Amino acid sequence: MNGRISADELKKLTGSRGEAQLVDVRTASEYAAGHVPGAINIPMEQIEARLDDLRPDCPIVLICHSGGRARLTAALLEPRRTDVTVLDGGTSAWVSAGFPVVVNAATRWALERQVRLVAGLLVATGAVLALTVNPHWLYLSGFVGLGLTFAGLTNICAMASLLCKMPWNRSRRLKAAATSVQGQTCSLRNVSSAGGDGETMLS
């Protein structure tokens, strides 16, 4: 049975190096927007294909925004691992407890959230124009609906591909960071958040 751990308990646990492997199962953009220090990013949909990234020598703590995706991921891992724990309340609980998070200095909305916003706007626009201008605008809403259905069935989303090419979603060049390797751990020098890219710690 997979257990749960509170933010306070996890904070004490992270004080002891090597006690657990922290895995953030959100999307890469959500992870960059703020994650528990020391957590690696393996999105929920990739977890079964990346089992080798999970350390066999220590327990795993799964983290998401509020705990829902982490519990679903724990269920996927249950046949293979019995040492999986979920951070109760997710990153939200961690932040509410006043603990620091590591954020990308130039954060952006998660791509999935952008797709939901654009799709919703297109459907609403099509419906309003169909009622006020011309009934044929209803085809716009239907087209978006078909596109989302196709994306769900094939995992190919044309809207997401288009949004990836937008200026605000283009990858930024990271400044060189000094690393020090000790066993399996790395320490990354923070880059100033004052107009720079990279990661910084917020408390």
- Options 3.20.20.70, 3.20.19.10, 1.25.10.10, 3.40.250.10; CATH for 3-105+183-202 is 3.40.250.10
- Structure confidence at residue 201 (pLDDT): 53
- Two tokens, residue 6: 């509170």
Q: Which of 64, 157, 164, 186 is catalytic?
A: 64
What are the per-10-residue average pLDDT scores of the chain (203 residues)? 82 73 90 90 92 90 93 91 92 93 71 87 94 94 92 85 80 45 35 40 53
The structure's pTM equals 0.59
Q: Strands, DSSP E only, in the chain?
A: 3-5, 21-24, 40-41, 60-63, 84-87, 101-104, 179-182, 185-188, 199-202
- Structure confidence at residue 191 (pLDDT): 32
Structural domain spans, the chain: 3-105+183-202, 111-169
User: Is 164 one of the annotated active-site residues of the chain?
Assistant: no
- Structure confidence at residue 161 (pLDDT): 84
